[in-house]
Structure 1
């Protein structure tokens, strides 16, 4: 996390997943109540050294080490939090003082502090210990959502692989020599990591699916999840099949799965180093440590679909079955990270393979432009989660002159469009395309996604098949010839919103006179579809408000949402 990410959290204010604590040199009295309420609800982030009004006061720098130690010790003690919660506090140097950040993941368990169960309700930690209805709802939600916590009463220690415990202890020791799990034996480790649990609603007790996935013998995993597999393929020359692959597909434990996928990436992608402060950093490792780790940590393991990592000449695409929280593009600045398998994630963090919640998106966005200059990753949250890592970078600005002429808008907007289009990334396969080839890529993608976004009211009788497009006179020179009028308006507005722009300027671009009709027919549908937003969203009637494209809108405009 960087200072801009910290400031973004502070600007949001306290709420369901953000809590400020004014602390100098000791742990605030309400700290552990909030830990429990975050764990029991949707997870969240605590900022120590920030008061209730969002003013940074900072913690006492001399107390940083003792604060960190006291928090870690307390959260690993069942006398304080039961079951224990493992966190890794870290500090950010804000201009007004040092802020300690504690990210609490949502848990598959129900936690209590000193016997009291708390739940998060907006910005409050509520005691629900005696509220039977809310407790019942909480148990049901946990049991139904986190499939990693499914208990298998007949799964025993004999079904686990002893060598994997030794490998796990070695990985943990190499990453953090004072990790509290290093003091545990195998059985204690499973209990402390909540891989052995008791369901207090139905009385079942035993090892969980997560335990089998991390430590299970291959035959154990295949017996529990007969359809589960992970594929790794290289498709550069033979794009219909493969040039190389992990053979046979991986149906093994998650530790070896991660190591084998990383080795496959290292085999087929080049190293690239750069100096970060005074350290030499391997960019390939930084990026794919996160990407591969996230694919494993966030997968829905009860799905029969496979996880696939495919390397082509222009990109790396990773897909895996998923339980989505929403559908669409993840904005690296505005998203709320949520672990899909919190107990599996705890182990990957202990191994040093993942960092704090949300680090995968943030770090990949940070390091990919250094590995592939100008490029940014794409993360699509859907029933199948998709990660796209471009290996070549091309943006719509490369074709700005052709695109601007094609839009046929007033020339006074040319400079605005040239600057804005440079921020619209195209599929990396377009790297050496002509303008005509790019357009043949974009129009079908716009139509496919436009018809899915019902609030857009996209005109469905739009020509979008290549052979039909080429029959339209001047199809690559005049957008008014190729796009139906409603669709042309939508794409023109979206293009102009590539940089912040006022409604009056948008209307002038189309010589449109009726503000209400323009807003209702075009701006409102684009906003409801998540393609554009106000620059001052908290004050929609502010006269200084402008419209700007979102990450979803950039991906739509650049043709990155095409399912092919």
Structure 2
């Protein structure tokens, strides 16, 4: 769901490839449907009804709010308007200037047409590509290759599906939204409306898709299509070599989701939080999202399993993935992309997932209330990794020894401590001594730093435990333990753990030459996205400061920056 702050940010950012404003008082402008088609065919986006092209909130006619929502939903389910249909849930946001209706359009696995025309989103425009054969061909090819859930199996029949799952699905949908249009459809109509039964207009193939088998298939059907597919959940608290409890699932996604939640609830404690007058089950809102993401966004053609491991200090979920990039996700600035939009649509209809990207945002929001000071870690890679801390260790615990090690001014201790409390350590270091922390971090920096060419990490650096322990005063004297360049890099990451100006940074380190400081240390840290400017659009601003990024915090805290 989009809140007031997100709406404000969208309006401030103006129209772009993911946001469209539509002035709308008492009727939906016809151009909105072109945008629906273009967002569906490109990367998805949000249409804001009640805002003019200049970004001024005009508001809708409040008396027509329900009619506007109903008209929009009805039109998107009519083949005369959008073919194939697009299912959306319009949302009203109250502002001081009036009500705005927000409609989030997902990136679809299908090519959608409005009034017989195909549109793509180009910057802030909806471009008609119906007669551009090259772009049209490229679009169909992209849709075929991007979403393996849409693969048609001509020999897959209704006999291969479990009819009881259709009734179960309708009950779940009805419980979440009593007027959902899918509730009144028969089994085949339901599959067609949700694009689980489709026709490929480029090949002429028609039939049930892989997503249909995964949601409604009998267990033997799923195993015949995907022999290696399985989901495992285990507890490793006492028996770390094997497990204390374990389940292995090779069944449909509805039962998989429900059984994973039951397993987590069996082994993790419940905790409530009051948000205004609303009592929120934190365990439920966090793991609803985490498990929903694992089921919805998995690459199902992979032979790797999905694993959920509940350990002593953290929950780890690994999932086969079609990676868009490699590295940690910054929840404050990431651009979500759908992996299995048709499966996600079903889970959204159940109330098990929200719009694309909500899982990361909601988990980040609620986890610190479940585990104080905790932050989830999401790593995009060929195996997507999610880490949910159950206990927290941070560098702020060792601030005095840290300042001594790096030879930083004691008067900055409060500045540094506040920042280091946001630099979380791996769960293995919970309760660790200073010596143990240092013996972990120094080799970790070297191992990861040498893989980053733009950082030009020195090869001559102590990084083996036996070598480190031979360095005199290694626990307190960083100038002896760390290579000179490494010392500067770690000092900069430490000082930027809260925003700091260039002059204050150089003063704290005792560095005089601005040009070499930038060229040898600060610029390389910016290049690898460990540090960023607080005012990136105005690099020469007199108020400019530098701050460590989430990626930089992970490096400083000794975390892996890619999934293993």
8 Å contact kept, 1:40–1:118: yes
- Residue deviations 1:49-91, cap 9 Å, x none? 3333333333333332222222111111111111111111212
Q: Answer yes or no: is 1:423 the counterpart of 2:426.
A: no
Q: Is the 8 A contact 1:5 1:333 kept in 2?
A: no
Moved more, 520-529 or 383-392: 520-529
1:508 is matched with 507
Is the partner of 2:450 in helix, strand or coil? Answer: helix
Which residues of 2 match residues 153-168 of structure 1 at below 5 A? Answer: 153-168=154-169
Question: Residues 154 and 371 of structure 1: is their aligned pair in 2 closer, same or farther, counting only changes over 3 Å?
Answer: same
Residue 371 of structure 1, CA deviation: 0.8
Shift of 1:299: 0.6
For residues 511 and 256 of structure 2, the distance between their equivalents in structure 1, rounded to whole angstroms, comes to 57
2:548 matches 1:549: yes
Measured in 2, the distance between the counterparts of 1:214 and 1:330 equals: 28
Q: Does 1:406 align with 2:405?
A: yes
Per the TM alignment, residue 462 of structure 1 is displaced from its structure 2 partner at its CA by 2.6
Distance 1:347 1:505 in 2: 53
Report if the CA contact (8 A) 1:61-1:98 is conserved.
Answer: yes
1:424, distance to aligned residue in structure 2 (A): 1.6
Q: Deviation of residue 435 (structure 1)?
A: 1.6
CA contact (8 A) 2:294 2:319 kept: yes
**1:28 corresponds to:** 29
Aligned mates of 2:107, 2:243 — CA distance in 1? 39
Moved more, 104-113 or 553-562: 553-562
Supply the distance in 2 between the matched residues of 1:459 and 1:57 (Cα, whole angstroms).
58
- Structure 2 equivalent of residue 266 of structure 1: 265
Separation in structure 2 between the aligned mates of residue 57 and residue 431 of structure 1, nearest angstrom = 53
User: Could you say if the C-alpha distance between residues 516 and 244 of structure 1 is closer, same or farther in structure 2, counting changes exceeding 3 Å?
Assistant: same
Render the CA deviation track for 1:113-139: whole Å, top value 9, x for unaligned: 111110011111000011100000000
Given the superposition, is the C-alpha separation of residues 155 and 53 from structure 1 closer, same or farther in structure 2, using an over 3 Å criterion? same
Deviations 1:328-371 (A, max 9, x none): 22222211111110000000000110012211011111111111
The answer to whether the aligner puts 1:47 opposite 2:48 as a matched pair is yes
Match of 1:212 in 2: 213
The CA deviation at 1:149 is 0.7
Q: How does 1:276-425 map to 2 (within 5 A)?
A: 276-425=275-424
Q: 2:486 and 2:502 mapped to 1: Cα distance?
A: 18
Distance 1:3 1:328 in 2: 30
> Conserved in 2, the CA contact under 8 Å of 1:175 and 1:350?
yes
Partner-residue secondary structure (3-state), 1:151: coil
Confirm or deny: 8 A CA contact 2:237 2:312 kept in the other structure. yes
SS of match in other structure, 2:249: coil
Once the two structures are superposed, residues 3-35 of structure 1 have per-residue CA deviations (whole angstroms, 9 ceiling, x without a partner) of 233333333322111222222332223111111
| Alignment correspondent of 1:73 | 74
Per-residue deviation, residues 164-188 of structure 1 (Å, max 9, x unmatched): 1111111111111110001211101
Deviation (angstroms), 1:298: 0.7
Task: Pick closer, same or farther for the CA change 1:458–1:13 going to 2, 3 Å.
Answer: farther
CA distance in 1, matches of 2:438, 2:96: 47
Kindly report the root-mean-square deviation, in angstroms, between the aligned alpha carbons of the 2 structures. 1.6
For residue 254 of structure 1, report the CA deviation from its aligned partner: 0.6
The Cα shift of 1:229 comes to: 0.9
Q: What is the CA deviation profile of residues 440-478 of structure 1, one whole-angstrom value per residue up to 9, with x for unaligned ones?
A: 232233223222322111223432233332222222212
Is the 2:403–2:409 Cα contact (8 Å) retained in structure 1?
no
- In structure 1, what is the equivalent of residue 236 of structure 2? 235
Q: Residues 526 and 202 (structure 1 numbering): CA distance in 2 closer, same or farther, change over 3 Å?
A: same
Write out per-residue CA displacement over residues 363-391 of structure 1, whole angstroms, 9 at most, x where no aligned residue: 11111111111111111111111111111
Structure 1: 5+ residue stretches without partners: none
Secondary structure at the counterpart of residue 517 of structure 2: helix
Distance 1:522 1:63 in 2: 58
Q: CA deviation at 1:193?
A: 0.5
After superposition, the Cα gap between the structure-2 partners of 1:24 and 1:551, relative to the gap in structure 1 and judged at 3 Å, is farther
Q: Which moved more, 1:149-158 or 1:501-510?
A: 501-510
TM value normalised by structure 2? 0.96
Aligned length: 562
